[in-house]
Amino acid sequence: MPKKKKINIVVTEKHHKALQWCLQNDIKVGVLPTKKGLKVEIDERGKKIISPETYSQEDAQKKCWQLYLYLYNKYWKL
């Protein structure tokens, strides 16, 4: 059985704060498996947007955290 590669993602307190705020405001980011890789989906109060690109496991996780920060910064100051 091949050894799994360790995923190295740095998650800060800002990431956790953004995640918490997004979930409280019905904004979720997740991954969808496809035959070619993972796609990232944003579910913003029922409106879903799916990335055109596919990602590796590590890149998909990084993208999700990046999107939580982006959405938090975009909407929090409104």
Is it the case that residue 76 has pLDDT exceeding 60?
Answer: yes
pLDDT in tens, 17-57: 999 999 999 999 999 999 999 999 999 999 999 999 999 99
Number of structural domains (the chain) is 1
Residue 34 belongs to a domain: yes
1 pLDDT tier (thresholds 50, 70, 90): low
Tokens 């879903």 sit at which residue?
48
Domain span at residue 36 reads: 28-75
Residue 18 belongs to a domain: no
The confidence score (pLDDT) of residue 26 equals 96
Tokens 């995923």 sit at which residue?
7
CA angle 36, 57, 23 (to 5 degrees): 110
Tokens 């590590």 sit at which residue?
58
pTM: 0.85
Residue 16 belongs to a domain: no
Residue 43 belongs to a domain: yes
> In angstroms, rounded to a whole number, what is the distance separating the alpha carbons of residues 11 and 18?
11
What is the distance in angstroms between the CA of the first residue and the CA of the last residue of the chain?
51
